[in-house]
Amino acid sequence: MQAMLLFAQPSGRTGAAANLAAWTAYMDAMRTAGVMRGGQRLAAPDAATTLRLKDGVRHVQDGPYADSPEQLGGFVVIEVPDMAAAVEWAARCPGAIDGAVEIRPLLPPPA
């Protein structure tokens, strides 16, 4: 199965150097294990712009669409045998201690 790991982090936190090393090692481990299918880090939520169309009018606001104490900081797509294996990888995420990792199975493309 393929799943997306969404890394939610407490907003406004700064990545210490040791933490960066842990994240890099984590990403490398998924790559070396051959499970990684892709992924990106995201810029801080205050760099986001959110758009909604209401009655043909563009409503543009600064910031992310959801005002939540945890914000999406990045994501990867992994290919693993089952959900249990996906949970194993999520548990190794350095951000799982002070943030959260959401594991979302990908749907197959529509036929």
The binding site for another protein (CB under 8 A) comprises 18, 21-22, 25-26, 28-29, 32-33, 83-84, 87-88, 91-92, 94, 96-97
Q: Which is nearer to another protein, 34 or 38 (CB)?
A: 34
Which residues sit opposite 103 in a β-bridge?
5
SS3 at position 27:
helix
CB of 96 to another protein, least distance (A): 8
Nearer to another protein, 26 or 77 (CB): 26
Q: Closer CB to another protein, residue 18 or residue 107?
A: 18
CB environment 57-82: b (16+ within 10 A), e (fewer): eeeeeeebeeeeebbbbbbbebebee
